[in-house]
Chain A
Amino acid sequence: MSMTIHVDVVSAEGHLFSGQGEMVYAPAVMGELGIAPRHTPLVTQLKPGDVRVDPGQGKPMEHFYVSGGMIEIQPHVVTVLADTAVRAKDLDEAAALEAKRRAEDAIANKSSEMEMAKAQIELAEAVAQLRAIERIREGGN
């Protein structure tokens, strides 16, 4: 029997693949990696590209596109931690700025927030009324 290595491909949003492979290929930042069973322990970052798992026995190759991520290799287990989003320092920065801007908008937009608050108070009042009615009804019966 040929030697195999266990492969898990997971992303934050879900589990993508789990199975045995004779060979795994992954696009690491320092260059393409070919991982055979009993590879030395290694952790590295991935760049966007294809992760391929060769299950052996003439079965077709499994392909996964990753937009980056990390890969952890132990002699008998490979774990691909795939990113679901394209990551880059400046992109993350932009996302952070966007989130900040939204916060400022929310504060600047007090009027609409206040309306929200007003609506919530009205709702709370309505609920209280309903409860009072219920209590009266129960008392009446």
Chain B
Amino acid sequence: MAGAKEIRTQIASIKNTRKITGAMEMVAASKMRKAQDRMEATRPYADKIKNVIRHLGMAHPEYKHPFMQTREVKRVGYIIVSSDRGLAGGLNNNLFRRLIKDIKALKDEGKGVEFCLIGNKAVGFFSRVGGKVLATATHLGDKPRLEDLIGTVKSMLDAFENGEVDEIRIAYNEFVNTMTQKPTVEQIVPLPADQDDQELQHHWDYIYEPDAKDVLEGLLVRYIESLVYQSVVENAACEQPARMVAMKAASDNAGSLIDELQLIYNKARQAAITQEISEIVSGAAAV
């Protein structure tokens, strides 16, 4: 019965793997809902701040904060949002592939890149790509907190203010629907100008305390932070369904592998029995 025992152990090990992938699938499914709710919850804050900033911009067209001024781009800063854990299908790799293409194009134009990395996967990948890594943030968990991102965002904004980078982009997976995640790269600083040509009819202004500059500065920093936070939460909301789908595929594959092996095992067993019988029969005939 050559190989039958090996096939049996193989089947057992695949069954164990299937148990794990099945469990991971269910865990991902239950985390998915919460991650999506969290993503929805971040929207009002960013929308409200954006409104105030737009009002401010209209009331003070003459005052431009550095974060709102475009300048010639020599170096680009990338904030890259990835997941902490793997086994989520092509989620991270699709994003990285897209980025590598962008970065290569930039390098061909003679522009430099710097990175801020969020999530273990990005740290693992981009520390080998080359390019300066300004800051990292990892182990954010299922409930990312804004607090954990402040430092990372600030080091990027500092680099912008010091002229080390001239543009900041953020890369993350956009949540289209449960089945689809779209790798996305967006410019966040300088803030892209709003195309709404709202005529400056409402000529009213706020009172600022202590003064307009401080207030605008505080608002802009918070706005950019909330954009980054939103991306992180959105990426987390992408991670769970991606993992669920990947694990479902893995479980299905394990199932069909087991069926296949079971068939081979049965055939081998049958052949061994047949052989044994024919040996006995021919032995008896010889006597």
Contact = CB atoms under 8 A, between A and B. Distances in A.
B140 interface: no
Interface in B124-152: 124, 127-128, 133-138, 145-147, 150-152
A96 interface: yes
Contacts of A93: 154
B215 A99 contact: no
A103 interface: yes
A85 B260 CA distance: 56
A1 to B, nearest CB: 26
Contacts of B229: 12-13
A28 B215 CA distance: 12
Contacts of B207: 40-43
A14 interface: yes
A43 B204 contact: no
Contact of B146 (A13, A73, A99, A137): A13
Contacts of B86: 120, 123
A8 B49 CA distance: 12
Interface residues of B, number: 50
A72 interface: yes
A97 B151 CA distance: 7
Nearest to B219: A70
A98 interface: yes
B42 A107 contact: no
Contacts of B44: 8, 10, 15
A106 B123 contact: yes
B206 A103 contact: no
Interface in A110-141: 110, 113, 116-117, 120, 123, 130, 133-134, 137
Given A40-B207, A98-B151, A99-B136, A12 B158 contact: no
Contacts of A97: 151
B209 A81 contact: no
A62 interface: no
Interface string A99-110: 110110011001
Interface in B3-49: 38, 41-42, 44-46, 48-49
Interface in B197-216: 204-210, 214-215
Contacts of A79: 48, 52
B16 to A, nearest CB: 15
Given A72-B52, A84-B146, A99 B123 contact: no
B270 interface: no
Given A43-B206, A120-B124, A8 B48 contact: yes
B225 interface: yes
A95 interface: yes
Contacts of A29: 209-210
B253 A81 contact: no
Interface of B: 38, 41-42, 44-46, 48-49, 52, 56, 86, 116-117, 123-124, 127-128, 133-138, 145-147, 150-152, 154-155, 158, 204-210, 214-215, 218-219, 222, 225-226, 229, 253, 257, 260
Given A43-B207, A45-B209, 17 more contacts: A8-B44, A13-B41, A13-B146, A14-B38, A41-B204, A43-B208, A43-B209, A70-B218, A72-B52, A73-B206, A81-B48, A84-B146, A92-B150, A99-B136, A103-B134, A113-B127, A133-B257
